[in-house]
Structure 1
Amino acid sequence: MLYRVIQKFGLDVLQWNEVDDSHSSTVYQCTLLHGENVYLKIPFTKLKFQRELSAYEILQGSVPIPYLINYWSGDEECPGAFLISALKGKPLTAKTTPTVAYQVGTLHAKMHSVTPPTNGDFIGINNEFDNWSNFIERQFQSFAADVRDILDERLYEKAIEKYKKMKQQLPSPDGPSFVHMDFRPANIIVHDGSISGVIDFESARFGSTEIDFTKLYCDILSLDSSLYQAYKDGYSSIRPLINLEEVLPFYRFTDAFNSIGWCKRRGVEKNALFLEENIARLKKWVL
């Protein structure tokens, strides 16, 4: 498939490497014959291709993102592919500075300031805001059968009870906003102390901002209070920030639950460490 995509884009590739930390697409970093670095991205499904393509159209000029050089709509064998410019820098890490955390906050708020097109044409990205509670329910229930195969019955039943109780305590949703749905450090690129941009939009929706803070909080913000405060200051400089303490417990819990189901679907052995981490997280919430 890689060679077909290279041929479709007419590229002279000197060398290529598959990117490891990509979970919804196959991504290759390619060095072209004249020295330029680009990325080839092949989403797993046509829907993910459509979301990614729509996100580039919607976000262009609003937040820093890579330049979409070209795309191919695919055929019966391939759902589609993208040729994308390489952002300078490396993924965000917990060793970052409050200055960068502030920039992450402003970037995130600018993304959340993007609202659905007034003509109602969401070009591949659904607007889930008006039925947000049902959207969360569908997501949770879609993984429940997979999770049940992994957990013992007692832990599973307690998790279901915990979910129902916590969901009732959620505040009114905040939006409608463009939500990334996978806003994690690996998708935020930093170069020389500044944000280069954000990548990977195959899970994006229009919905409530409350779902979009969990992964960044778990991986970085929860580890350093100065980073957390800087992020909140940056976000609040663009738009009002919801009370994260009200929503983070629920979404951290459901993230652990849904991740267990994700591991079941993608392969328990292949994702054994990630599975163990999320079972341990889930147990802390319910036991």
Structure 2
Amino acid sequence: MSGIKQRVKKLLLKTVWAFGPEDVVRTIRRLGVRPGDVMMVHAGWRPDSGFRGSVQDLVQAFLDAVGPEGTLCMMSMPFHGMTMAEYLKLGKVFDVRRTVSMVGLPSEVFRRRKGVVRSLHPTHSVAAYGPKAEWLIEGHERCASPFGKGSPFDKMVEAKGKILIYGVPFNTMTFEHYLEDLLQHRLQVSVYSAMTVPGLVIDSAGRRLIVKTKVISDELNRSRNTDSLYSWMKETKVARKMNLKHIVVTVVDAGDAVKALLRAPEPPPGWHIAF
């Protein structure tokens, strides 16, 4: 970028593109989130985004959007840029108290917040804060699959929760794996590998646990086209999008997404194509 373009961009970020925490809350509310809701957030952080405030202020805005009676949760995964299978092969220990979240700075800042609890899954841990936080994460390590019955994603549906995607691609939405699990018998590909894989977890009391988990298959990862799922969600109105200055903000209604998928005669066209 030339020097002139850089100066123009900096000026725009301070003026036309600038926004604050109250704008974040207002946008989330306009997309259908209400005080008292359970909301799962996928968010990125860039110092040059135009946001007037710190990453802590951004996390607080998410909390303000659901209010003190609402529950906020974020993915708190210990890896990025690799598959579940690749990460588990590394043999790393997941310490619920200390293992850093690798899925965006807001998630790590949130994880460290006083009162936040975290589920005991070795690859897809969920961090949560609010009245339903303990309920949301409880028993995740005992679920037959990380995304299926009894998981935090399943409880998001039960709680009529919302999923917020703020300034990151739609394919960061982990709830997509829950939908794959739900429709696994209707997809053309195997959702999980044949074998479960053990992961070593240390809980909040320092106890070591072996948690066996199903692993997303390489076949599923190769076949997935999240853009097709997003197009279908927009058409069925279970996903709503707004631009906050130049930040794209999307909200998905978890319960409505499930209802629409179960009513549909077939999975969204092009979502998974067997090779």
In the superposition, the TM-score normalised over structure 1's length comes to 0.23
The structure with the greater share of residues assigned to helix is 1
In the superposition, the TM-score normalised over structure 2's length comes to 0.24
